Amino acid sequence: MRLQLSSNHSLWHAYHRVRTAVLDLVYPSACIVCKTPGRQSICENCRATLPIRSLTTVCSVCGGDILQSETAAGTVAPICPQCRAHRPAYDTARSAVAFQGSARTLVHALKYHHAAWIAKPMADYLHAAWIASFGDEIPDLVIPVPLYSVRRFRRTYNQAELLAGALARKLGVPMAPNLLRRNRNTPTQTFMNAAQRRENMRNAFSIAKCAAPLLYGKTVLLVDDVMTTGSTFNACAFPIRSAGAGRILCLSFARD
């Protein structure tokens, strides 16, 4: 009898550990950034430390930081030297936060540690950046930057698609995750300069055969987790522009 009770006790503890692990995945019991116990996936203190990007003193095209000399003449729509030299295929790109500190922790948790639940609170910042940048304008559809099929299979989800889906629901517009395709598994761009990134992403994306009628004349919002030089957004925008899209806007959670 004692052995039976001990066995049942061990089974109960094993069940409890599994149940707790599953509940932590769905309903986190601590802040993903600072690990403070609680039922907020991002606690108030860590939300307060997120490095929100300025949306006014940036390049009117790519949203990148511009030197003071670029605005010294008082131009209404200053454009950075990079965009003047290589005008992107998209119209405007903006980012919600800087890719540092707590923002970097959030991106890495979503991207590499299966913390899919934080896509929703991260999308709150995307939504705020959208309103600050584009006001009450509403896109016709939202398209996430796609992952290559093998990489998506290994990761089990596309982090950009989770962010795009949450943002699309807030905007009340459809998300179209299958209109844009990644043609090849592009090497990581972490240590590449701007020119190398452009070459790396050349012809990396294409649209589905059925996409052209759905894109023609439409305002498309591209969504990704992190933007650095904009080469990925630019490569995505090329086939969408070729399909006749009227306006292509880009929004990322973070800017490196």
Percent of the chain with pLDDT strictly greater than 70: 83
CA gap 182, 166 in Å, rounded: 21
Element (H, E) at 10: helix 2-26
Cα separation, 76 vs 58, in Å, equals 11
| Percentage of residues in the chain having pLDDT higher than 90 | 61
- Per the CB < 8 A criterion, the answer to whether 240 and 248 are in contact is yes
The gap between the terminal CA atoms of the chain, to the nearest Å, is 63
**How far apart are alpha carbons 56 and 132 in whole angstroms?**
9
The residue behind tokens 């295929």 is 89
Q: Rounded mean pLDDT of 10-22?
A: 48
User: Cα 18 to the chain's mean position, in Å?
Assistant: 31
Please state the rounded mean pLDDT for residues 104-132.
95
State yes or no: pLDDT of 19 exceeds 90.
Answer: no
Identify residue 248 by its one-letter amino acid code: I
Strand 247-255 relative to strand 92-98: parallel, antiparallel, unpaired?
parallel
Residue entry with tokens 């996936």: 41
- Supply the pLDDT for residue 66: 81
Per-residue pLDDT tens over the stretch 56-114: 789 999 999 886 555 555 555 688 988 988 899 999 999 999 999 999 999 999 999 99
* DSSP per residue, 109-136: HHHHS--GGGHHHHHHHHHHHHHHHHTT
Question: pLDDT class for 2, splitting at 50, 70, 90?
Answer: very low
Rounded distance, CA 177 to CA 157, Å?
A: 12
Quick count: other Cβ atoms within 10 Å of Cβ 241? Answer: 18
- Residue 202: the pLDDT is 78
Q: How far is CA 40 from the centre of its chain?
A: 21
The CA-based dihedral angle spanning residues 234, 235, 238, 239, taken in that order and rounded to the nearest 10 degrees = -140
184-225 residue pLDDT tens: 877 666 667 777 777 777 778 999 888 888 999 999 999 999
Query: Mean pLDDT of all residues in the chain?
Result: 85
CA atoms of 131 and 138, how far apart (whole Å): 10
Residues contacting residue 4 through CB under 8 Å, at least 6 positions apart: none
User: Lowest-pLDDT range, 159-163, 172-176, 183-187, 230-234?
Assistant: 183-187
pTM value is 0.83
Closest to 171 (Cα-Cα) out of 147, 140, 144:
140
**Tokens 């005008």, located at residue:** 87
pLDDT of residue 204: 82
